Protein backbone atom coordinates (compact mmCIF):
# COMPACT_ATOMS: atom_id res chain seq x y z
CA UNK A 1 0.00 0.00 0.00
CA UNK A 2 1.40 3.43 -0.97
CA UNK A 3 0.42 5.80 1.84
CA UNK A 4 1.23 8.79 -0.37
CA UNK A 5 -1.83 7.96 -2.52
CA UNK A 6 -3.92 9.33 0.35
CA UNK A 7 -2.21 12.72 -0.09
CA UNK A 8 -3.85 12.97 -3.53
CA UNK A 9 -7.34 13.23 -1.99
CA UNK A 10 -8.34 16.94 -1.87
CA UNK A 11 -9.94 18.65 1.15
CA UNK A 12 -10.76 22.08 2.52
CA UNK A 13 -9.81 23.65 5.85
CA UNK A 14 -12.45 24.32 8.52
CA UNK A 15 -13.00 25.32 12.14
CA UNK A 16 -15.56 23.17 13.96
CA UNK A 17 -16.92 24.71 17.16
CA UNK A 18 -19.41 23.61 19.80
CA UNK A 19 -20.59 24.30 23.33
CA UNK A 20 -21.93 22.20 26.20
CA UNK A 21 -22.85 23.29 29.74
CA UNK A 22 -21.32 26.74 29.19
CA UNK A 23 -18.00 25.23 28.05
CA UNK A 24 -16.89 26.28 24.57
CA UNK A 25 -14.33 24.77 22.23
CA UNK A 26 -13.29 24.25 18.67
CA UNK A 27 -10.66 22.78 16.41
CA UNK A 28 -9.32 22.64 12.88
CA UNK A 29 -10.72 19.89 10.67
CA UNK A 30 -10.06 19.11 7.03
CA UNK A 31 -12.47 16.15 6.96
CA UNK A 32 -15.67 18.09 6.29
CA UNK A 33 -17.88 17.45 3.27
CA UNK A 34 -21.47 17.81 2.17
CA UNK A 35 -23.39 14.52 1.99
CA UNK A 36 -26.88 15.50 0.80
CA UNK A 37 -28.56 18.60 -0.56
CA UNK A 38 -32.19 18.18 0.57
CA UNK A 39 -32.03 18.25 3.50
CA UNK A 40 -28.53 19.75 3.53
CA UNK A 41 -26.21 17.52 5.55
CA UNK A 42 -22.46 17.59 6.20
CA UNK A 43 -20.14 15.05 7.88
CA UNK A 44 -17.11 15.68 10.07
CA UNK A 45 -14.59 13.10 11.32
CA UNK A 46 -13.37 13.95 14.82
CA UNK A 47 -10.81 12.21 17.06
CA UNK A 48 -12.20 10.87 20.33
CA UNK A 49 -9.17 12.43 22.09
CA UNK A 50 -10.29 15.96 21.26
CA UNK A 51 -12.18 18.26 23.58
CA UNK A 52 -14.31 19.25 20.60
CA UNK A 53 -15.42 15.59 20.35
CA UNK A 54 -16.74 15.73 23.92
CA UNK A 55 -18.65 18.96 23.18
CA UNK A 56 -20.13 17.64 19.91
CA UNK A 57 -21.14 14.30 21.42
CA UNK A 58 -22.92 15.91 24.36
CA UNK A 59 -24.49 18.99 22.80
CA UNK A 60 -25.35 17.36 19.45
CA UNK A 61 -24.64 20.73 17.87
CA UNK A 62 -21.82 21.91 15.60
CA UNK A 63 -20.87 25.09 13.80
CA UNK A 64 -18.52 24.80 10.82
CA UNK A 65 -16.59 27.83 9.50
CA UNK A 66 -14.76 27.65 6.15
CA UNK A 67 -11.20 28.99 6.45
CA UNK A 68 -9.65 31.43 3.98
CA UNK A 69 -6.13 31.50 2.51
CA UNK A 70 -5.11 34.49 4.64
CA UNK A 71 -5.44 32.44 7.86
CA UNK A 72 -2.14 32.81 9.73
CA UNK A 73 0.00 29.96 10.98
CA UNK A 74 -0.51 31.28 14.53
CA UNK A 75 -4.29 31.07 14.12
CA UNK A 76 -4.15 27.53 12.67
CA UNK A 77 -1.70 26.52 15.42
CA UNK A 78 -4.14 27.67 18.09
CA UNK A 79 -7.05 25.64 16.74
CA UNK A 80 -5.11 22.71 15.29
CA UNK A 81 -2.37 21.94 17.79
CA UNK A 82 -3.69 23.02 21.20
CA UNK A 83 -6.65 21.78 23.20
CA UNK A 84 -9.49 24.00 24.37
CA UNK A 85 -9.50 21.84 27.53
CA UNK A 86 -6.67 23.93 28.96
CA UNK A 87 -6.33 26.91 26.62
CA UNK A 88 -8.60 29.78 25.55
CA UNK A 89 -8.54 29.60 21.74
CA UNK A 90 -11.04 32.39 21.30
CA UNK A 91 -9.14 35.40 22.68
CA UNK A 92 -8.28 37.78 19.83
CA UNK A 93 -10.62 35.85 17.50
CA UNK A 94 -13.84 37.39 16.16
CA UNK A 95 -16.86 35.30 17.05
CA UNK A 96 -20.63 35.59 16.92
CA UNK A 97 -22.34 33.72 19.78
CA UNK A 98 -25.30 31.81 18.36
CA UNK A 99 -28.56 30.92 20.17
CA UNK A 100 -26.92 27.75 21.52
CA UNK A 101 -23.98 29.79 22.92
CA UNK A 102 -21.64 28.32 20.32
CA UNK A 103 -18.87 30.70 19.17
CA UNK A 104 -19.08 31.07 15.40
CA UNK A 105 -15.55 31.89 14.19
CA UNK A 106 -15.60 34.71 11.62
CA UNK A 107 -11.86 35.57 11.64
CA UNK A 108 -10.19 34.14 8.49
CA UNK A 109 -13.55 32.63 7.45
CA UNK A 110 -15.74 33.18 4.40
CA UNK A 111 -18.87 31.20 5.37
CA UNK A 112 -20.35 29.23 8.23
CA UNK A 113 -22.97 26.54 8.87
CA UNK A 114 -25.04 26.07 12.04
CA UNK A 115 -26.00 22.42 12.44
CA UNK A 116 -27.69 19.75 14.55
CA UNK A 117 -25.92 16.39 14.82
CA UNK A 118 -28.51 13.85 13.71
CA UNK A 119 -26.39 10.71 13.63
CA UNK A 120 -22.90 9.44 14.42
CA UNK A 121 -20.77 6.47 13.45
CA UNK A 122 -18.15 5.08 15.82
CA UNK A 123 -14.98 4.37 13.81
CA UNK A 124 -12.65 3.19 16.56
CA UNK A 125 -10.30 6.20 17.04
CA UNK A 126 -12.72 8.74 15.49
CA UNK A 127 -16.43 9.50 15.24
CA UNK A 128 -18.09 10.48 12.01
CA UNK A 129 -20.75 13.04 12.92
CA UNK A 130 -23.59 13.64 10.48
CA UNK A 131 -24.79 17.24 10.77
CA UNK A 132 -28.05 18.67 9.45
CA UNK A 133 -27.62 22.29 8.39
CA UNK A 134 -30.13 24.73 9.91
CA UNK A 135 -28.50 27.95 8.76
CA UNK A 136 -25.75 28.88 6.31
CA UNK A 137 -24.17 32.32 5.90
CA UNK A 138 -21.65 33.78 3.41
CA UNK A 139 -19.33 36.28 5.12
CA UNK A 140 -17.17 37.38 2.18
CA UNK A 141 -15.67 36.23 -1.13
CA UNK A 142 -12.12 35.62 0.10
CA UNK A 143 -10.55 32.44 -1.30
CA UNK A 144 -11.26 29.25 0.67
CA UNK A 145 -8.10 27.54 1.92
CA UNK A 146 -7.57 23.99 0.66
CA UNK A 147 -5.66 21.32 2.57
CA UNK A 148 -3.17 21.26 -0.32
CA UNK A 149 -2.60 25.04 -0.02
CA UNK A 150 -2.04 24.61 3.72
CA UNK A 151 0.70 22.03 3.04
CA UNK A 152 2.32 23.46 -0.10
CA UNK A 153 2.06 27.23 0.42
CA UNK A 154 1.80 27.60 4.20
CA UNK A 155 4.20 24.65 4.69
CA UNK A 156 1.91 23.38 7.45
CA UNK A 157 1.69 19.85 8.79
CA UNK A 158 -0.99 17.65 10.29
CA UNK A 159 -0.95 16.18 13.82
CA UNK A 160 -1.11 12.43 14.49
CA UNK A 161 -4.70 12.34 15.68
CA UNK A 162 -6.10 13.95 12.50
CA UNK A 163 -7.91 11.40 10.29
CA UNK A 164 -5.69 12.15 7.28
CA UNK A 165 -2.32 11.96 9.11
CA UNK A 166 0.28 10.16 6.95
CA UNK A 167 3.22 8.53 8.72
CA UNK A 168 6.55 9.01 6.97
Which of 7/38 has CB closer to ligand FMN? 7
- What minimum distance in Å lies between the beta carbon of 56 and ligand FMN? 9
Does 12 bind ligand FMN (CB under 6 A)? Our answer is: no
Distance of CA 61 to the CA centre of its chain: 13
Say whether residue 27 binds ligand FMN (CB under 6 A): yes
| Of the residues 58, 83, 134, 135, which one makes contact with ligand FMN according to CB under 6 A | 83
Task: Write out the E strands in 49-163.
Answer: 61-67, 95-97, 103-105, 109-123, 126-138
Alpha carbons within 13 angstroms on the beta-carbon side of residue 86 total: 2
| Window 33-72: residues binding ligand FMN (CB under 6 A) | 45-47, 50-52
Question: Which of 18, 31, 59, 68 is close enough to bind ligand FMN by CB under 6 A?
Answer: 31
Q: How far is the CB of 54 from ligand FMN (least distance, A)?
A: 8
d(C-alpha 55, C-alpha 61), whole Å: 8
Site string for ligand FMN, 133-152 (x = CB under 6 A): -----------------x--
Torsions phi, psi for 13 (to 5 deg): -125, 130
The DSSP string of 37-84 is TTTTEEEEEEETTSHHHHHHHHH-EEEEEEEBTT--HHHHHHHHHS-T
Binding part of the chain for ligand FMN, among 28-36, 60-68, 111-119, 129-137 by CB under 6 A, reads 28-36
Q: Using the minimum distance from each CB to ligand FMN, give the nearer residue, 14 or 38.
A: 14
Question: 30: burial class by Cβ within 10 Å (0-12, 13-18, 19+)?
Answer: buried
Cβ proximity to ligand FMN, 52 vs 65, nearer residue: 52
For residue 19, count other CB atoms closer than 10 A to its CB.
22
Per CB under 6 A, residues contacting ligand FMN are 25, 27-31, 45-47, 50-52, 76, 80-85, 150, 158-159, 161-163
Amino acid sequence: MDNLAFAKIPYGMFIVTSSFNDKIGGQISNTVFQVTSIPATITISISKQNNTHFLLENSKKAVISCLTEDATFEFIGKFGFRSSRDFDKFSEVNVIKNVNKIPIVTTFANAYFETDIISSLDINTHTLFLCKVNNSVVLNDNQTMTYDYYHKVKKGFTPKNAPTYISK
